[in-house]
Amino acid sequence: MAAALASSPLVHLTASRLRLPRPRASVSGAAAPPSCSRGVRLGWRLTVGWRATRRCDRLRCFSNDGGGGAEEGEKRGEEEASAAAAPAAEELGSERSRSGSFSSSSGTYSAIFYFDQTPGASSEPPLLSFSVDNIDTVKLLELLGPEKVDPADVKAIKENLFGYTTFWLTREEPFGDLGEGVLFIGNLRGKREEIFAKLQRQLRELTGDKYNLFMVEEPNSEGDDPRGGPRVSFGLLRKEVSEPGPTTLWQYVISLLLFFLTMFSCVELGIASKISSLPPEIVSYFTDPNATGPPPDMQLLVPFVESALPVAYGVLAIQIFHEIGHFLAAFPKNVKLSIPFFIPNFTLGTFGAITQFKSILPDKKTMFDIAMAGPVAGAALSFSMFFVGLLLSSNPVGASDLVEVPSQLFQGSLLLGLISRATLGYRAMHAATVSIHPLVIAGWCGLTTTAFNMLPVGCLDGGRALQGAFGKDALFGFGLTTYSLLGLGVLGGPLSLPWGLYVLICQRTPEKPCLNDASDVGTWRRAALIASVFLVVLTLIPLWDELAEDLGVGLVTSF
C-alpha cells in the first residue's frame, strides 16, 4: 500500500480527509465472486478533470464461508481490515498506530487510517479515512487537463504514416492549447493537399475515429516551402478534445431567455424613437441626470407600444436575416452551428448574436465564407431599409408616418450621415430635429450593429474572416489596434466602451484552427475583407462638430 500511495501523481495540494466505508462481510450463504479471494481488498478511486481517472474499487470483503452468520462475517471483516491497515502504517514509519508519513520524488504525503468501533455508536459502518498533503500542482494539472495522445499511437503513426514519399519527420513538439497533442515537424515530400488527404485516410485506417489530424503552418519557420507557400506541420489531437461539444438543454433555455430580452429591448428602442411625443415627465426622468423625485408611472408608455413595433420588427428582422446568412453558408459545407444567443441592447435594440461552430471547420475558406455571409446578409437588408426610409422621409405623401428625432443622431456615423445629407438635403438636416421614417432608424441600427460585428477582433464575424484570410498572428495585431480605438472612443462614439467590454467578456478568444489551417482563401476574398473593414471604419467613426457644421449634418450650435 505504501508503494501505491508513493507512486500517486498527486502532489502540492492539501486535501481534506477522505472517508471510505469500512468493508462489510458477505451475507451467510452467499457465494463470493469467483475472481475474489476471502478477505479484504483495499483500493481507491479518484476522478479529476474531464477524462483523467484513476481506477480503483471500493473497500470490499468477500467470504467463502457458507455456514457463518452475518455477525461473524462482519467481525471477521473488521479483523482482516485492521490487519491489512496495520502493516501499511508500520511500513510508513508511523509514530501512532494506523498513521504515518512518507515522501517521494514528487513531494511529501501523510496518511491516517482508523476504524470507529465505539460501543453504542451509530449503526453506520465504521469508516477508513486518510488525508493527502503537498500535492504536485503540475501533475494535478495534467490530470485536470484534457486527455493526451496515447504514446503507443504516436509511435504507430510515425512508423506507418510518415516517410520518404509523404512527410519526412525531424522532430516533435507539444500541440494544442495545453500541450495535449503532438505537432510533427519535418519536410513535405509532395503537394500539401494531396499529402494531407493521404495522411488523413491512413490515420483513419490505423486508429479509426480516435484522432483528428491538422495541417498548420510550421511555427517559427525560417522560410517558405521550396514548392511555394509556407512550410507546414501536422498536429494530432484526440477527437473529444478538438471537436466542440453539443448544445446543451441549458444553452437552449438561455438562448430563449436572451431572445425575449432582445425583443423587449427592440420595443424599448421603438418607444424611444417617439421621444418627441412621449410624456415630458418620462423624457425628463430618463434624459436629465439631475432629475429628482419618484419615478414616473410607466403605464403611460403603454399607448406607444403599438407605434413602436415597426422599428422593433425591423431590427429583429435584420438580426434574424443575419443569422440565416450564417446557416445558409454553413449548410453546404456540412458545418454545424449552435443556436444563436442574441445580445440585448437598449441603444441599438441588439448587439447581434453569438453563434458558435459545433463542428471542426475543414479549411480557412469555409471559415471566411461562413463568417462573411451573416454580415453581408444583414448589411444588405439594413441598407435597403435605411435607403428606402430616407426616400419615404423626403416624400410628403407619407408625412403622417414620420417621427422626429434629434439631428445629432446623424452625427454618430460619418458614412451614414453623409448619405442622409445627400438624400434629405441641407435644409432638412441643418435643424434641431429631423423628420424621418421608422425604417431609417431600423436600418441605421442594423448597419451599426453589423459594423460592430465586423470589427477584426476575437471571434466576431470580422475576427473570424480576418483569421481565415490572414492568419491568427494578423488577428492579434488588428485586435490590439481595435481595442485601442474603442478605448479612445474613435470608433463607435458613446457605444465604444460597452461594446469593448462585451467583446472582452464574450468574444475575445480567436477560433480554433481548421483541419487544413494552411489553406489559402484567395486574392478576391482578401480584397473583399479589406473593403469591408474600410466601410466599417467609415460607419463607426462619428462626425466631429466642425465637419458636421461644414457639411450641414445637424445644427451644432443648438447643442
Identify whether the C-beta of residue 204 lies closer than 8 Å to the C-beta of residue 145.
Answer: no
Identify whether the C-beta of residue 422 lies closer than 8 Å to the C-beta of residue 548.
Answer: no
Share of the chain above pLDDT 90, in %: 36
How would residue 16 be classed by pLDDT, with cut points 50, 70 and 90? very low
Average pLDDT over residues 112-133: 48
How would residue 401 be classed by pLDDT, with cut points 50, 70 and 90? confident
**Would you give the DSSP letter of residue 363?**
B
Average pLDDT over residues 400-419: 85
Look at residue 14 in the predicted model and tell me its pLDDT. 39
The CATH class for the domain spanning 146-242 reads alpha beta
Look at residue 382 in the predicted model and tell me its pLDDT. 95
d(CA 168, CA 183): 13
Which segments within 189-275 are labelled E, that is strand?
211-217, 232-238
How would residue 66 be classed by pLDDT, with cut points 50, 70 and 90? very low
Instruction: State residue 467 phi and psi, 5-degree precision.
Output: -65, -40
d(CA 173, CA 171): 7
SS3 225: coil
Where do the CATH 3.30.1360 domains begin and end in the chain?
Answer: 146-242
Where is mean pLDDT largest: 46-55, 76-85, 324-333, 398-407? 324-333
Lowest mean pLDDT across 113-122, 204-213, 323-332, 485-494: 113-122
| Residue 128 or 333, more confident | 333
How would residue 365 be classed by pLDDT, with cut points 50, 70 and 90? very high
d(CA 44, CA 52): 14
Average pLDDT over residues 338-347: 92
d(CA 160, CA 110): 47
SS3 354: strand
Could you read off the pLDDT of 229-284 as tens digits, one per residue?
Answer: 788 999 999 988 888 888 889 999 999 999 999 999 998 888 887 766 666 666 66
Average pLDDT over residues 495-514: 89
Burial 131-149 (b: 16+ CB within 10 A, else e): ebbbbbeebbebbebbbbb
Instruction: Name, in order, each residue with C-beta under 8 angstroms of 335's C-beta and a sequence gap of 6 or more.
Output: 357, 359, 361, 362, 366, 370
Rounded to the nearest integer, the mean pLDDT of the chain is 76
| Residue 509 or 129, more confident | 509
**Would you give the DSSP letter of residue 357?**
B
Model confidence at 409: pLDDT above 70: yes
Helix orientation angle between 414-424 and 523-540, rounded to the nearest 10 degrees: 70
Average pLDDT over residues 291-296: 66
Average pLDDT over residues 493-519: 89
Lowest mean pLDDT across 293-307, 341-355, 401-415, 532-546: 293-307
pTM flag (> 0.85): no
Lowest mean pLDDT across 4-8, 348-352, 550-554: 4-8
Average pLDDT over residues 444-470: 94
